[in-house]
Amino acid sequence: MGNAITLTDLIDAPEEFSRFIPKFDNLFLNVKDTNTTDLSNMDHPFSWLLTVLQQDTADETTMRKALLTALSRLDSLEPSHAAQHRNALLFLCHLILFRRPEQERNDLMRLVQGHTDDVEVKNMIKSAAETLIEQGKIQEKHDSLIRLLQKRIGDVSETVINQIRAIQNSSDLDDLFDQAAEANSLNDVDLPNAE
């Protein structure tokens, strides 16, 4: 907790007006260093989400356990808190997508999906799954193109590999693959920004 700051600290007001000037507290909660039990005991959906956030870089088993605990508690919310439940699930989806390793995401998203009938959440999970599948296909095309270039022309520089990995358009990668299949040198492949 920080020190209370009053407006009288910021402006020169007569003492008799001090009781009319509001006080503000600074709050800093270091989520990572807060005891998980203390957060859980707050018995509020926000604190349940914070217990999962604490584990954003933990191993998969620990993250999965924290997620299941939070989902179970969120399931106990009254129907009148449906919006709060949906928002909490959307937060968890974003946390999974942006903070967890790629190989864990599908499994963790399925856990969240099993705890909702909300169309918005299900659509987000479906869209995220489709995005992950597409990213996987792009990654495979990157790897195949690099392997093909290595077989056709020998060593491929880190610069060229980075140029290839920067390409996110599937049809552009297909075109480059076709070029690489007949290439005798790197000059035969029309890489973007090639030196």
Q: So what's the pLDDT on residue 163?
A: 92
- The answer to whether the beta carbons of residues 55 and 66 sit under 8 Å apart is yes
- The answer to whether the beta carbons of residues 39 and 54 sit under 8 Å apart is yes
Question: Given the structure tokens 């999906």, which residue do they identify?
Answer: 113
Quickly list H helices, 76-118. 82-99, 102-113
Residue 163 structure tokens: 């140029």
Write down the mean pLDDT value for the chain. 84
* Structural domain boundaries in the chain: 5-117, 135-188
Q: So what's the pLDDT on residue 146?
A: 93
Percent share of the chain, pLDDT over 70 = 89
The answer to which of 64-68, 119-123, 166-170, 179-183 has the lowest mean pLDDT is 119-123
Q: So what's the pLDDT on residue 82?
A: 87
* Coil vs helix vs strand at 45: helix
| Short-list 127, 131, 139, 138, CA closest to 170 | 138
What's the predicted TM-score (pTM) here? 0.57
- The answer to whether the beta carbons of residues 193 and 157 sit under 8 Å apart is no
The tens digit of pLDDT for each residue in 49-62 reads 999 999 999 999 99
pLDDT band, residue 122 (cuts 50/70/90): confident
- The answer to whether the beta carbons of residues 109 and 133 sit under 8 Å apart is no
- CA-atom Rg of the chain in angstroms: 26
Which residues, 6 or more positions from 45, have their beta carbon under 8 angstroms from its beta carbon?
A: 73, 74, 77, 81, 84, 85, 88
